[in-house]
Amino acid sequence: MSSRELIESFRDFEPARVTRNGQSYKETEQFINQELVRYLAMYGKITRMNQTARLIRDQIDNLIRRYHDYVIQGRYQAHYRERGIITKEGNVFEHVIPAKTVRNLLIGQRITITQALNSPTCLISVASDRILRENKLSKKTPNPWMFWSRYKILGIDIETYDGTKIDQSTWNLQNHWDYFQNEKI
């Protein structure tokens, strides 16, 4: 068959829709976990930082973000939220620790894949997001362990997705992992 015949005879299709639920979250976690293991192994074999290294870092970013987009947003909308925010609509989904920092912590073997996939996310208002940007805090976290440090400038109350108020001056990354480790993601 010619290229023209191959294209003209093709009948486009819509893949079956998948319902977000515990099973689809588990399948997503398993697939992304396997892919992260594969990409981390590839990155570990890189002998010079070139375009290939960048492409692998991009893939690691994409996998972590995909997990957050599908599983975290599907299950919680976000781990945390600015007090008073109930839905994602009209608000900003924020990686509390910027995704590139999470990726670098993972590549540097400072955190596990599970910890990277469950790094803190938060829903904040557009106004709060604007304040972060104006103060050049939207893409960096001075201290990932005490990850709320850049939010203190906002002067807002933060709570977990289920309404548990947190103290931003003491709530650290270990508290985050402990709080969410028993959740069935």
Question: What whole-number percentage of the chain has pLDDT above 70?
Answer: 97
Q: What would the pLDDT profile of 126-179 be if each residue is shown by its tens digit? A: 988 888 888 877 677 788 999 998 887 778 889 999 999 999 999 999 999 999
Which of 35, 17, 20 is CA-nearest to residue 117?
35
Residue 109, class by beta-carbon neighbours within 10 Å (0-12 exposed, 13-18 middle, 19+ buried)? exposed
* pLDDT value of residue 184: 45
Task: Report the half-sphere exposure of 70 (CA within 13 A, side-chain side).
Answer: 21
Q: What would the pLDDT profile of 66-82 be if each residue is shown by its tens digit? A: 999 999 988 889 999 99
* pLDDT value of residue 173: 94
Other residues' Cβ atoms within 10 Å of the Cβ of residue 81: 27
Mean pLDDT, residues 98-112:
94
Report yes or no: 144 and 96 within 8 Å, Cβ to Cβ. Answer: no
